[in-house]
Chains A and B, each alone.
Chain A
Amino acid sequence: MTALALRLRKSGHLPVLAAAACLVALLLLGSLYSRNFLSAEYLLLQLQIASFLGIVATGAMLVILLGGIDLSVPWTVTVGGVMSAAAAGWWGATGEWLAIPFGIACGAALGLVNGIGVAWLRVPSMIFTLGINAVAQGLIVVQTGGFAPQDRATPAMHLIATGRSLFGVPNALLVWLAVGLATVFMLHRTTLGRAIYGVGNRERAAYLSGIATRRVVALCFTLAGACSAAAGVLLTGYSTKAYQAMGDAYLLPAIAAVVLGGTHILGGRGSYLGTIVGVLLITLLQSILSVMQIPEMGRQITYGVVIVAMLLVYGRGKRLSD
């Protein structure tokens, strides 16, 4: 391996650079196919779409950094969308402006239960979040089936999801930007961020260093739930309606985006910049595949192959004999 490659690998930036390179390659590929591809309008649209995934991926990244995984994303997204629309229906005028916080709060509550199950009950996150996902589904079925509430988005939600208030920049992108900046700040400049990396690296050592590890875990899952729900709120705004199974299409891409961005699936390592690149990569990949009108079959296969190929470049583990 060349000296440059070794230095890159050591600095931990290799995944981000590799993903960015792939991103550029995709852009070039797309532009070859259609001249519109590099137009500002199209790119802004991509960024807008990417924002939804980006917000989900933010929450997913926090949990993965801890060494866990959040499989309750699909129905927490739906909870966010459905409950925010419902709130607008239940509480009339106040409901209008309570809708968004309420939806996010419901997601956060689910996330908190996840956190308690993982941190205090010590149930593996994979299986506990799976269970919460099923419970969330049950709650939504009861909610929408039994009480036939309003499922339309409030004007505010619609504005945030689809509007462009600031120099033509999509509002959704601004939301992602805000969430992203807050996350980067938290991870790199606060004691909580250090604690997250410590717990993800070795919870035992973090505990013995006097960190309240269980609270950190619970907090991250709560934030992840809030992120998922926030995305659900935005999605509802985007399509002006909340519907079941809103979130199904976000779980796998979110995890893929986080991992492609260089965050180690076992936790403790990763930067948010990588997640951003990963999200853009996944979004662009999905767009190109649909622009090229490749049938669904081709899309699925390309999707999976690209992920494996990229990880083989920079996500490989150590040999056993080391």
Chain B
Amino acid sequence: MQRDWLYHLREMRGTYAAAAMFVVIFTVYIAKHQTGWAVPVLTTAANKGVLLAIVAMAQTLPVLTSGIDLSVGMVFVLANCLASHLVVGTPLQAAAGCVAVLACGALCGFINGAIIVWGRLQPIVTTLATGTVFYGIALGLRPVPGGDVHAGLADALTGALPGGVPAMLVVLVGVVVVVWLPFRRSVVGRAALAIGSSEAAAYMSGVDVGRTKLVTYTLAGLLAAIGGLLLTFVTYSGEASSASGGVYTLNSIAAVVIGGTSLAGGAGSAIGSIFGALVLRTIGDLLFVFDLEPLWQPLFQGVILLAAVSLGALQLLKVSDRLELFR
């Protein structure tokens, strides 16, 4: 039984490291912040951070299968634009609108999966192309920024619950409990890891590779749509911004890597990616709070990002069989 803890620790070490990084950075941030530990500060941070965290979760799933989804940012934007049309009116209509938006995201993900599985195209080029299609549709929905969203729902979700807990955090935890944890513990979740670890061995062992990938990419689309829906509640509008979509896609990849998941697949956790996303968000705020010249902030962010993803290189120092460096 002793050894069990060790194995668990080893398996989750990426996640714990990312969590530790986040705690440290966030503590410094709060300490340096004018207002400090106060509900409005936490709520603002949560509202911004959770969005990227959910998109990072979306990105984690395909990465586990050693694929990638370069369209998550665009599904995010598409969901935002769609929500600004549908999540309005009576509570019932708004609820139906939410369901429609999530269904749309899942459909986008399913299209990705279908092309990858039946079309046998590589994930990177597939999602690159579908990303532009999804963006085009978003543009069609919202040629100019606008729209509206159910005010009551938006206020509720972007505010704080009694007790000071930001509502967004509760939503995030909810998504983790309802989507990630069941996925992780289910047969299809483990199959995803198996495929990422060795697709050939997984196939030989009877894993249904096609079905697993379809489910994985569909869930990724669903999660991205959840993020887009939440964005609508934060901005009260829909905007088809390709810059924003691109930034979210690329940041989600960075968040996944910082969160300890390898781009080669086979191991990792969406919870680590959540912390990776929160780390990324907080670093930006941190530089602001330290009164760093706004001019230097992008450079610092870039350098820190580079350093964070290069940390893995330290392990190379103990490699004594150079063949291990090559695939």
Contact = CB atoms under 8 A, between A and B. Distances in A.
A–B direct contact (CB < 8 Å): yes
Contacts of A188: none
Interface string A199-216: 000111001100001000
Interface string B121-137: 11011101111110111
B326 interface: yes
B129 A136 contact: no
Nearest to A208: B323
Given A128-B309, A304-B132, A316-B119, A141 B124 contact: no
Contact of B133 (A146, A304, A311): A304
A142 B122 contact: no
Contacts of A145: 295
Nearest to B254: A130
A122 B327 contact: no
Contact of A311 (B121, B199, B209, B303): B121
Contact of A131 (B119, B131, B143, B306): B306
A166 interface: no
Interface string B296-311: 1111111101100110
Interface in A45-103: 69, 71
A215 B74 CA distance: 37
Contacts of A252: 128, 132
Contacts of B296: 138, 142
Contacts of B246: 248
A13 B275 CA distance: 47
A266 interface: yes
A128 B306 contact: yes
Interface in B282-327: 295-303, 305-306, 309-310, 312-313, 316, 322-323, 325-327
Contacts of B125: 255-256, 259, 265, 307, 311, 315
Contact of B140 (A136, A203, A297): A297
A246 B144 CA distance: 23
Interface residues of B, number: 53
Nearest to A302: B136
B130 A141 contact: no
Contacts of A131: 254, 302, 305-306, 309-310
A121 interface: yes
A75 to B, nearest CB: 9
Nearest to A312: B119
A320 B133 contact: no
B64 interface: no
Given A130-B254, A134-B305, A266 B122 contact: yes
Given A142-B299, A204-B327, A308-B126, A303 B132 contact: yes
29 contacts: A127-B253, A127-B254, A137-B298, A138-B298, A138-B299, A138-B300, A139-B299, A141-B295, A141-B298, A142-B299, A145-B295, A207-B326, A208-B323, A256-B128, A259-B125, A266-B122, A296-B136, A297-B136, A301-B136, A301-B137, A303-B133, A303-B136, A304-B133, A308-B119, A308-B130, A311-B119, A315-B125, A316-B120, A317-B120
Interface of B: 68, 115, 119-122, 124-126, 128-133, 135-137, 139-140, 143, 199, 203, 209, 243, 246, 250, 253-254, 257, 263-264, 295-303, 305-306, 309-310, 312-313, 316, 322-323, 325-327
Nearest 6 interchain pairs by C-beta: A138-B299, A300-B136, A134-B302, A131-B306, A304-B133, A135-B302
